Structure 1
Amino acid sequence: MRILVVGAGATGGYFGGRLAQAGRDVTFLVRAKRAEELRRSGLVIKSPRGDLTLRDVKTVLADQIAQPYDLVLLSCKAYNLDDAIESFTPAVGEATMILPVLNGMHHIDVLKQKFGAEKVLGGQCVIAATLNREREIVHLNDMHAIGFGETGGGISERVRAVASAFEGAGFDSTASDSILQQMWEKWVFLATLAASTCLHRAAIGDILKTPDGRRIIEGLFGECKAIAAANGYPLGEASNVRAQGILFAEGSPLTASMLRDIEGQSRIEADHIVGDLIARGGDVQKEGALSLLRVAYSHLKAYEARQARQAA
């Protein structure tokens, strides 16, 4: 299976690097600057699961793609989705599978509209990683997992083929017969975490020490769950218990990556993670009511407006 990994940043670089280390046919679609970095220093991963330095990394620039790939692994930021699609479109052929591991659901709609529903798999990943100043991939904990499956459910032959390619590649992978349910469950948790920690500019443990912190997290979690249920994806009991265990852990230093982006004055995925969830709320949200989720979203959009004003 010929695999094209779009980008060689923290997420794509990590999973693509593990696949390449395991002998899979992996090519990274990168810009010229990143291609030069990889040529000069290799693809470097620092991880509790084992460090890795790959030399002679296979890379390609967008204008150099000459033939389709079997699998396109997409892990860009949501605000870079349009640019990413433009770059990898020449790699999509008649039998190409596109496996995005972005958060939320909007990207699935965009990819299906562009390439056709039959080419798009559902997917999600669990990993905390970043690029350091030396442009090395730093894996921040021991979680490194990808889940994937048909958006219509079931386990198809092509999903089995992806599972075979990922098996033994140095990270956890699961072929799912209900990937959209899992994506919605992750979205509910992530939106709650992002809204809570960004709104308070604090970690979960700090929020829980405030007079109304627990009530606010509970309110946000309840709103997100209600939206998921209204869309046909009620949170499962196991997922609900797991999320509550994390969201209400006393003393927890956990924050959303979106808060870390704000603290670094970087771009954020406000529209994709929180705004799109609100847009899918429909009848769940009372007409004219200012819900906690809407307050959090307004907070994020104010940050974006300030960033735009200062840049101008």
Structure 2
Amino acid sequence: MRILTVGAGAVGGFFGARLAAAGEDVSFLVRPARAKALRARGLRVEGQGETLRLTPRLVTAEAPGGPYDLVLLSVKATALHTALADIAPAVGPDTAVVPLLNGIAHLDALVTRLGAPAVLGGVAKVVTTLNAEGDILRMAPPAVVLTGEVDARPSARVDAIRAVLAGAGIDAPATEDIVAAMWHKWVFISTLVALTCLMRGTVGEVNAVPGGAELGTALLAEAAAVAEAAGHPVPEGERAFTAATVTTPGSPLTPCLYRDLVAGAPTEADHVLTDLTGRARALGVATPLLDLAALHLRVHEGRLAAGR
């Protein structure tokens, strides 16, 4: 299977490295700065007992190659439209595109640009980050990719993709409804984002003060209410996992969006929180805490836009 991984950052670089190490035909579509670093140092993954050292096959937007059998789209939402323009020439009539972004708004953008037949749903569950040298650090055990047809029908191409992922040591369980799974991940990440960004601290720092644990559970209740109103109620097990994650004493956990915020960089706030709260209003669900978090991040984005 010919695979294009769009982005070689903490998520795409990790899954692409796993696939390449397993012998799959993997190319990485990267920006010039990332390409320069990867040519000089290689693609490295470390942590949780894993060490990978690869010389990745790199392609650029000017010559993406293709068509590919599988495109793993792993970019931040702020780069989505640029990435879609870059990969469009590499998508053929039999290409399957699996987006590994948070939220669900990107599905419409993919269908508009690439056509509905090419687009699958996707969820990534992995805890990785880039260090100062650009190496990928794996900080916790999960290495999961969920995928499926957006209309939930059985699919031979999805089965084939899942088999390739599993062969690279990536958990890829069958998913009955991938759009529901995307909503459930959205509830998790929006709760975590709102908590850490509103309070400007790690999960552990928030829970170390009176009211911290109560805030996490209240944010989760709002996000889960939106998903339920949209027809995708969060299973009790997943809801309990999210509740435990955002109320763990001493946890150093922060999401990537929080790290972008404190670094003074653009964030995925619109894709993660503004879209969710907009859907909440359309569904008649009150989300005052999530609205406050979204407003907080919009002020940050406004400062960046004004050059401050």
Shorter chain as denominator, the TM-score bin is over 0.9
Q: Decide whether the 8 Å contact of 1:150 with 1:159 is kept in 2.
A: yes
Contact 1:155 1:175 in 2 (8 A): no
AA at the equivalent of 2:182: M
Cα drift, residue 144 of structure 1: 1.8
List 4+ stretches of structure 1 deviating above 4 A. none
Given candidates 290, 298, 303, the residue that maps to 1:301 is: 298
Assess if the C-alpha contact under 8 Å between 1:150 and 1:177 holds in 2.
Answer: no
Could you say what secondary structure the match of 1:27 adopts?
Answer: strand
Q: What is the TM-score of this pair, normalised by structure 2?
A: 0.94
Q: 1:72-94, CA deviations, whole angstroms, 9 ceiling, x for partnerless residues?
A: 10010001000100111100111
Give the Å deviation of 1:66. Answer: 4.2
Structure 1 residue 18 and structure 2 residue 15: aligned? no
- Change beyond 3 A, Cα 1:137–1:250: closer
Residue 64 of structure 2 contacts residue 86 of structure 2 at CA under 8 Å; is this kept in 1? Answer: no
Superposed, 1:215-230 pairs within 5 Å as: 215-230=214-229
Q: What is the root-mean-square deviation of aligned Cα atoms in Å? A: 1.7
CA spacing shift, 1:126–1:96, aligned 2, 3 Å: same
Query: In structure 2, how many angstroms separate the alpha carbons of the residues matched to 1:162 and 1:104?
Result: 22
- CA shift in 2, pair 1:168/1:133, >3 Å: same
Match of 2:283 in 1: 283
Give 1:162-241 correspondences, 5 Å limit.
162-241=161-240
1:54 alignment counterpart: 54
Q: Which AA in structure 2 matches 1:240?
A: R
Deviation at 1:69, TM superposition (A): 0.7
Q: 1:33 to 1:204 in 2, by over 3 A?
A: closer
Retained in 2: the 8 A contact 1:198–1:256? no
Contact conserved, 1:191 with 1:274, CA < 8 A, in 2? yes
Q: Deviations over 1:5-55 (max 9, x none)?
A: 112122111110110010001111123333333333221112224111112
Q: Determine the C-alpha separation between the residues in 2 that align with 1:75 and 1:236.
A: 26
Verify: 1:43 aligned to 2:40, yes or no. no
String of CA shifts for 1:225-281, please: whole Å, max 9, x gaps: 111111110111111121122222233332222222212222211001100001111
Conserved in 2, the CA contact under 8 Å of 1:125 and 1:146?
yes
Q: Distance in 1 between matches of 2:65 and 2:36?
A: 20
Partners in 2 of 1:214 and 1:28 — Cα distance? 41
The residue number in structure 2 matching 1:136 is 135
Give the distance between the partners of 1:33 and 1:215, measured in 2 at CA.
Answer: 43
The answer to whether the 8 A contact 2:98-2:121 is kept is yes
Deviations 1:83-141 (A, max 9, x none): 10011110011111000010000111111122222211111111122222222222222
Per-residue CA distance 1:183-216 (angstroms, 9 max, x = gap)? 1111111101110111011222332343333333
1:63 alignment partner, SS class = coil
Q: Distance in 1 between matches of 2:217 and 2:42?
A: 45
Q: In 2 relative to 1, CA 30–251 (structure 1 residues): closer, same or farther, beyond 3 Å?
A: closer
Instruction: Measure, in 2, the Cα distance between the counterparts of 1:32 and 1:246.
Output: 37
Counterpart Cα distance in 2 of 1:261 and 1:213: 22
- Give 1:70 deviation, angstroms: 0.8
Give the aligned partner of residue 292 of structure 1.
289
- Name the aligned partner's letter for residue 263 of structure 1: V
Unaligned runs of 5+ in 2: none
More displaced, 204-213 or 259-268? 204-213
The one-letter code matched in structure 2 to 1:142 is P
Q: Distance in 2 between matches of 1:41 and 1:302?
A: 38
Change (3 A) 1:174 1:304: same
Q: What letter corresponds to residue 52 of structure 1 in structure 2? A: L
* SS class of match (2:50): coil
> Aligned partners of 1:162, 1:25: CA distance in 2, in Å?
13
Map of 2:28 onto structure 1: 28
Q: Counterpart in 1 of 2:257?
A: 258
* Counterparts in 2 of 1:30 and 1:257: CA distance versus 1, 3 Å: closer
- Letter paired with 1:171: I
In structure 2, the partner of 1:115 is: 114
Q: Which residue identity does 1:42 align to in structure 2?
A: G
